[in-house]
Amino acid sequence: MSRTFLKMNGLGNDFVVIETLTQPFNPTPDEIRAIAKRGEGGIGCDQVIAIDPPRAEGASAYVRFWNSDGEETGACGNGTRCVAWLLMQSSGKTAVAFDTVAGRLTGQMAGDKLVTVDMGRPGLAWDQIPLAEEMDTVGVELQVGPIDAPLVHTPGCVSMGNPHVVFFVDAPVSDDFARGTGSLVEHHPLFPEGVNVGFAHIAARDHIKLKVWERGAGLTAACGTGACAAQVAAVRRGLTNRVAKVEFESGVLTIEWRASDSHVIMTGPVTMEFVGKLPELAVA
Catalytic positions: 76, 223
End-to-end CA distance of the chain: 9
Rounded Cα–Cα distance for residues 40 and 146 (Å): 41
Beta partners for residue 165, in sequence order: 157, 197
Q: Distance (Å, rounded) from C-alpha 85 to C-alpha 96?
A: 9
Backbone φ and ψ for 175, nearest 5 degrees, come out as -60, -40
- The H-assigned helical ranges of the chain are 29-36, 77-91, 175-186, 224-236
Residue 270 CA to residue 68 CA, distance in Å, equals 20
Query: Residue 194: which of 100, 14, 67 has the closest Cα?
Result: 67
DSSP 3: P
d(CA 115, CA 41): 32
- Please classify residue 22 by burial: count the beta carbons closer than 10 Å to its beta carbon, then call 0-12 exposed, 13-18 middle and 19+ buried: exposed
How far, in Å, are 75, 122, 243 from residue 60 at the CA level?
17, 23, 29
Residue 62 contacts residue 92 (beta carbons within 8 Å): no
Strand partners, 252: 247
- 201: DSSP letter: E
